[in-house]
Structure 1
Amino acid sequence: MEYYFSDRKSNILGVGSTDGKGEWRIDNDIEKQSVDNRPAVELSLDIHFTNDQEQAVNEMAKATNFIMYQDEE
């Protein structure tokens, strides 16, 4: 699965993938649908990076940004 990280203006900051095709390697991705009557999804994933890449990952994955992906639904 591919994950696209973007800022609030929809500028793509990076692409991660579970199959090794993205800029960042991702694994342990877990999606949980809300059990309440709210349209919410909880997403948890691990992004692998080197010490030299830490600043870029921090910027890409900061709390005010978006993570976009397409699941089976």
Structure 2
Amino acid sequence: MGAGRLTVVDPDHVEPTNLNSLAGATDAAARSGTSKTEVAAKLARGIDPDIAVHQVPHRSWTPTRGGSSAART
């Protein structure tokens, strides 16, 4: 039993300043500019090798004028 599927959305890459708050991130990942979605996918597959991970390494929505997040794609 498990989640089965996971979608990970994050436009950022691993940086040295966020190593302490990003589970699974390494100094090597920060040096190589690994996407945060790749780190999350690797971590999830380490827990459940059969999980299907869909990575979205970019914004999945764009705020409209006024800062509303209602315009999601």
Q: What range is the shorter-chain TM-score in? A: under 0.3
TM-score by length of 1: 0.26
TM-score by length of 2: 0.26
Larger % of strand: which?
A: 1
Larger % of helix: which?
A: 2
